[in-house]
């Protein structure tokens, strides 16, 4: 379920499935963060594939309400409670993980028009915030025509086709 209006651009099912096929064994038991969460699709998919803990970060109140409903529905379907899951109604650029609860996987799917300004800030913050998790993986959704080369990070994989299609780039710290 996504909120009404145009405030959210959910990840396409095909791209999300490709991302999780690539992540496969990394997801069960993992801790994740879904930044610019929108409908919460990346985090919900991680949860449904066995992630143990997670956080969604979304500043839009309607989208956050939708995420709450989606998390409750997925947890009910999985027969699990919502312990270890959190929703932060705030700007993703201000989010930092709790010390000792850093994510193994970070999904970033920002509005495309803010990527040029926000990506450098996000990667700089994540480099510090994920210092305790050297193997953490950042999955960044962006338009196919865009290339990111954040200092201190290496793109280890890119999924998606075409310059006008959404793609997902997988980054690790170097």
- Paired sense of beta strands 137-143 and 85-88, if any: unpaired
| pTM (predicted TM-score) | 0.92
DSSP secondary structure of 3-30: -SSSS--PPPHHHHHHHHHHHGGGSTT-
Residue 125's pLDDT is: 94
In degrees, rounded to 5, the angle at the alpha carbon of residue 86 between the alpha carbons of residues 45 and 57 is 75
Q: What is the pLDDT of residues 66-77, one digit of tens each?
A: 999 999 999 999
How much of the chain is helix, strand and coil, in % rounded to 5? 35, 25, 40
Q: 55-113 pLDDT, tens per residue?
A: 999 999 999 999 999 999 999 999 999 999 999 999 999 999 988 999 999 999 999 99
Model confidence at 172: pLDDT above 80? yes
Cα(159)–Cα(64) distance, integer angstroms: 27
What CATH number was assigned to the domain covering residues 13-173?
3.40.50.150
What distances in angstroms separate CA 130 from CA 64, 99, 134, 164, one per listed residue?
A: 25, 9, 7, 31
């Amino acid at each position: 379920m996504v909120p009404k209006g145009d405030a959210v651009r959910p990840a396409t099912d095909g791209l999300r499935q490709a991302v999780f096929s690539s992540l496969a064994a990394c997801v069960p038991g993992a801790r994740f963060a879904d930044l610019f969460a929108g409908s919460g699709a990346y985090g919900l998919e991680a949860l449904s594939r066995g992630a143990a803990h997670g956080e969604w970060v979304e500043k839009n109140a309607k989208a956050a309400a939708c995420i709450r409903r989606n998390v409750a529905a997925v947890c009910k379907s999985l027969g699990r409670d919502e312990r270890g899951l959190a929703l932060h109604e705030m700007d993703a650029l201000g989010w930092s993980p709790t010390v000792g609860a850093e994510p193994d996987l970070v999904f970033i799917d920002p509005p495309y028009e803010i990527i040029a300004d926000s990506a450098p800030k996000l990667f700089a913050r994540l480099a510090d915030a994920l210092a305790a998790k050297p193997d953490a993986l950042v999955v960044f959704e962006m338009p196919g025509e865009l290339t990111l080369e954040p200092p201190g990070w290496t793109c280890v994989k890119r999924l998606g086709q075409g310059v006008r299609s959404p793609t997902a780039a997988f980054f690790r710290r170097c």
